Chain A
């Protein structure tokens, strides 16, 4: 099993990310709600650095009981990161492209050992 060390878990605050290298492959490691997630830093669209963009909650339309539009809001539960090249959005917890969930970033298992965070690359 090959691993890439990301760093001490204590150095990555909730809501932060790191980019680590495994040979020529860049991997984005996110910490959100105490859990770690890792994806290849390569957008499914045109190959942009998908993991380096903004971390944004899902935008939702708020409808009234009679189905009329009230306003928009940010989700409290669903969090995305956004490729800075063109705006493709990814579900931070699954790596799925939220515009078409059949498309996914390559994901990696993340483990914590001895206070350090590692990405399992093979």
Chain B
């Protein structure tokens, strides 16, 4: 494979191996003693479209199945039947994991995605990972509501039957087709209790308000089943507000927070936590800096307009810190006092769950948490794993599942050739 570079140069790449790309992560894992405690990653991804033919077998509508199959033959991706989202996440090839991954060799069994996921988990020291899709994070933008539901159903069945069934270290919070409240309810009913399904997930880049009455019976069902709900941030560059920005960095920095800001505001101000007090909720992939902002904004205005939020029995910020959050992409360039204050006001010691977002371009290693100077060892271990175990009601693994030491052998693999 040849990567295009600046000024008409090109870079040939002959091979790719996740264990080599992440060899420095494995060194960090060993140096920091990750073998001594569990690490649970609450947000990670695979590229499910690489297995689209497998997923399409689970599409029940034969016309839709043929339509999508025809639109994707021979690698044709000009105008497809599935939304994938605009955005050059690979940064002009600078962050190469996605295009180069097709060079990575895996055995026929287990499933390729199981092998690839295990490889990065072992390098990072992650024992259990919550796995989400990548292009299908944008399914909520599909104008055909029935297509979101049909594809989400096919993906979910494929994930449960072909991936989760093969590897207990991989779990998921299953995608909900939120634009279709009836299908959302059916999904919760059908998939609760399936092996590896530890909750449900709504991608935030959509235009349905989370407080709509249509969703109440799904929230009630999840609460009854003890299944947590996640809102996974994402951006939509075509959003009326985001078409004002002209660079990917701007669309991404604002977009991943914007939709979660809206949904969290609706969630709290409409008193959903009072209606479903035992429903656990986690907000994923908006970083942490948005939380002190929205806590202050809502508290300040609530004190002047309590009649606008009559279901609340305490300050909005107190509901916010009852919920859970993942770190990535944690804002690490500010001064340490600001980060420390953010951790304190968001009650990170109990409410923050580690997430890598691997293999996406802005992933966070466990060291992003472990190296924070103001955390005790116990606090680090809670955030990296203990809090998630409690959140999901998981038994702590009896032994370290990540094969950190096994990665060392991979360092002898041929080095990725980077010559030009």
A8: CB under 8 A from chain B?
no
A56: CB under 8 A from chain B?
yes
Chain B interface residue count, CB cutoff 8 Å, equals 33
* Interface pair A84/B367, CB less than 8 Å apart: no
**Chain A: interface residue count, which band?**
20 to 34
* Interface pair B365/A15, CB less than 8 Å apart: no
* Interface pair B7/A76, CB less than 8 Å apart: yes
Mask, A1-32, CB within 8 Å of B = 1, is 00000000000010111010000000000000
Most chain A beta-carbon neighbours within 10 Å: one of B92, B94, B416: B94
Report the Cα distance A89→B91, complex, angstroms. Answer: 12
The verdict on A55 contacting B7 (CB below 8 Å), with A47-B24, A48-B24, A84-B96 known, is no
Provide the main secondary structure of the chain A interface. loop
Which of B197-205, B275-283, B356-364 lies at the interface with chain A?
Answer: B356-364
Report the Cα distance A52→B3, complex, angstroms. Answer: 14
B25: CB under 8 A from chain A?
yes
Residues of A close to B93: CB separation below 8 A: 54
Mask, B390-420, CB within 8 Å of A = 1, is 0000000000000000000000000110111
Mask, B1-43, CB within 8 Å of A = 1, is 0010111010100000000010111011000000000000000
Mask, B68-110, CB within 8 Å of A = 1, is 0000000000000000000000011111110000000000000
* Interface pair B9/A87, CB less than 8 Å apart: no
* Interface pair A47/B5, CB less than 8 Å apart: no
The listed residue (B3, B24, B91) touching A42 by CB distance below 8 A is B24
The verdict on A17 contacting B5 (CB below 8 Å), with A56-B94, A87-B95 known, is no
The verdict on A54 contacting B415 (CB below 8 Å), with A42-B24, A46-B365, A86-B95 known, is no
* Interface pair B94/A53, CB less than 8 Å apart: yes
Report the Cα distance A56→B9, complex, angstroms. Answer: 9
Mask, A57-96, CB within 8 Å of B = 1, is 1010000000000000010100000101111010000000
* Interface pair A46/B368, CB less than 8 Å apart: yes
* Interface pair A74/B11, CB less than 8 Å apart: no
Residues of B close to A82: CB separation below 8 A: 94
Most chain B beta-carbon neighbours within 10 Å: one of A48, A84, A100: A84
* Interface pair A87/B94, CB less than 8 Å apart: yes
* Interface pair B367/A46, CB less than 8 Å apart: yes
Residues of A close to B364: CB separation below 8 A: 46
* Interface pair A54/B11, CB less than 8 Å apart: yes
Report the Cα distance A56→B91, complex, angstroms. Answer: 12
Residues of A close to B332: CB separation below 8 A: 45
* Interface pair B419/A47, CB less than 8 Å apart: no
In the assembled complex, the CB of B226 is this many whole angstroms from the nearest CB of chain A, namely 35
* Interface pair B5/A16, CB less than 8 Å apart: no
The verdict on A54 contacting B3 (CB below 8 Å), with A17-B419, A47-B28 known, is yes
Report the Cα distance A55→B92, complex, angstroms. Answer: 12
In the assembled complex, the CB of B285 is this many whole angstroms from the nearest CB of chain A, namely 15
B325-340 contacts to A, CB under 8 A, are 332-333
In the assembled complex, the CB of A48 is this many whole angstroms from the nearest CB of chain B, namely 6
Most chain B beta-carbon neighbours within 10 Å: one of A13, A15, A42, A56: A56
- A sample of 20 cross-chain residue pairs with beta-carbon separation below 8 angstroms, ordered by A number, consists of A15-B420, A16-B420, A19-B415, A45-B332, A46-B367, A47-B24, A47-B25, A47-B365, A48-B24, A49-B21, A49-B23, A52-B416, A53-B96, A56-B6, A57-B6, A74-B6, A84-B94, A85-B95, A89-B94, A100-B333
Known contacts A17-B419, A19-B415, A55-B5, then 16 further A-B pairs from the complex at CB < 8 Å, ordered by chain A residue: A15-B420, A16-B420, A17-B418, A46-B367, A46-B368, A47-B25, A47-B28, A47-B365, A49-B24, A54-B5, A54-B94, A55-B9, A57-B6, A82-B94, A86-B361, A87-B91
